[in-house]
Amino acid sequence: MSLPQAHAGENSQSKQQTILIMGDSISAGFGIAKDSSWAALMELKLKDVNSHNRMINASISGETTSGGAHRISKLLKQHQPNIVIIELGGNDGLRGSPIKVITQNLSRMIVQSQQAGAEVVLLGMRIPPNYGQRYSELFAGQYQSLASEHRITHLPFLLQGIAAVPGMMQADGIHPTLNAQPIMMQNIWQLIEPML
């Protein structure tokens, strides 16, 4: 009787997981204390699941999809993540970069992650409507298209329920406040948890 019980105990212990975040200032915690960012909050939750779990936040303020695509190969080899969270594109959009280029860069990152054996979570962004309706729609739509094409998990809009809500955005109107971080973390955690 004791052997099956021991075996059941082993199964209940989740395997060690490594999560790599490829993001920009929104994931780097711009304007707030680093240990209060959604990524830092998720790391605590991750450690609760298994103390050996690792979170590598490779997010850089100002990062673009081309920068991420350039960096990801080395990071995948170095950390060998089980899950890669991609939160990029916002800076490209604010610069008016061609949608085709943004999509190609994101696709390259997704494919490289999958080839390295990682599951991918894509966090969608939107840009202000003053960039023109067509561009704004194409920008937002590319995340859904990429998720369908590569059969990956995605969040349509990372700042859903945060953007335009009083107290949730910093004065620049681009970066979420301290109050928004737990909401973002929970929205992403719901996608990550089944993968653990």
Which residues does the annotation mark as catalytic?
25, 172, 175
Q: Judge contact between 74 and 111, C-beta under 8 A.
A: no
With residue 119 as reference, give the H or E element that holds it.
Answer: strand 119-123
Give the strands of the sheet with 18-23, arranged side by side.
54-57, 18-23, 83-87, 119-123, 153-155
CA separation, residue 124 to residues 6, 14, 82, 89, 159 (Å): 43, 28, 20, 8, 9
- The answer to whether residues 19 and 46 touch, using CB atoms and an 8 Å cutoff, is yes
Residue 167 to residue 86: CA distance in whole angstroms:
26
Q: Are 195 and 46 in contact (CB under 8 A)?
A: no
Q: Which of 143, 183, 188 is nearest to 167 (CA)?
A: 183
For residues 186 and 162, what is the distance between their CA atoms, to the nearest angstrom? Answer: 13
* Residue whose entry in the numeric block shows the structure tokens 């409507």: 129
